Structure 1
Amino acid sequence: MIIVIDYDAGNTANVLRALEKIGVAAELSADQEKIRQADGLILPGVGAFPAAMAELEKRDLITTIKDTVATGTPFLGICLGMQLLLDASEEHVLTKGLGLIPGVCREIPATPSLKVPHMGWNALDIQRDTALTSDLSGKYVYFVHSYFTDVPAAFCDVTADYGIKVPAMISRGNVYGAQFHPEKSGDVGLGILAKFKEVVYADSTRN
């Protein structure tokens, strides 16, 4: 079972529908035991970084998430959920993140020709091959965000050009992030979620 973590900050209905389309057994939950026993975890997210971290802390989920990831459980953060993977964010006020991937979330610099938020369909450029990136070069996905994940190149898998090279997918070990919304990115997005499913169930001991 894949658990979509419930913390009142995610586009959860669309994520669950997308998972259903690819035949994934998934459940929305904030139950710590269910999270610890999950085959895989997805942390979606929309909204502000400080409020999201405060809600995770309120539900006593931060330690649960970190402990579960440390056991090797595959983890996917989507949009704000990807930003929360980092050490910190500068959004509104410097706020500590989950610290699963090194880096800081910073505001996208606006230009006369490029407005913030970065909103719409953008092409992907592969930087590193991972289990989730095959066949993505040049494919278009849907973004809605005002902040980007400033991470070392060693953790940046895919970028999109928006005045700067915006990290579109990042990873570290069993932790993956997608800045765009796979659940809103048509067949390309469903394909990424299907690849995550393959990662989750690659270990034959999981069922």
Structure 2
Amino acid sequence: MTLGSATRVFVVAAWGEGVNLTNGSTSDLTELAVAASAWHAGVSLAKLGDVAPFLEVSAMALAHQRGPDHAVAEKWRRYLEPGHRLDLQMIRAAHAEPRLRMLFPSTSHGSLHFSRCTGWPFSRDVSAICPLGDGRYAVRHRGEEFSLEPSYSAEEAAASVVARMPASWGPAIAGTDHDLRDRES
């Protein structure tokens, strides 16, 4: 009989305000303790990689740490990059609307959603734009039955979303939908 050995691995993910800030893995318990101590001491994400090289810190996480306006701008920047597999006409039309540009965008099944907060779970009270093909779009208004009619141009769809937004909505706040609701109550 032969005995095998298993490798011990510590998997780490650090979250804050509904955002995955860093993750990684190490088999060295000392490395993990140094990272945890640095995190507890308040080391910035930008410097955490120097202290614990096994941890990955994304540009998006760094943007979140700088504040909600930076997180929103970074997400829009990513969506507007050439080669992104999103409907650029829809993204550009929504981004051209100043009130939508202040919200945190996300996508699901090709549709463009807007959140009044930057962390998960996102707010789901803002209408969403759904591509129909052939340069036409539907708008899914919260609390209403989804309909393909009327169909809009990308610009009309973005304007329709803005028209349904209360004046008090925006800019997006750091945190989750729960944090947003707590602030509003």
Shorter-chain TM-score tier? under 0.3
- Structure with more of its chain in strand, by fraction: 1
Please give the TM-score of this superposition, normalised by the length of structure 1: 0.26
- Structure with more of its chain in helix, by fraction: 2
Please give the TM-score of this superposition, normalised by the length of structure 2: 0.27
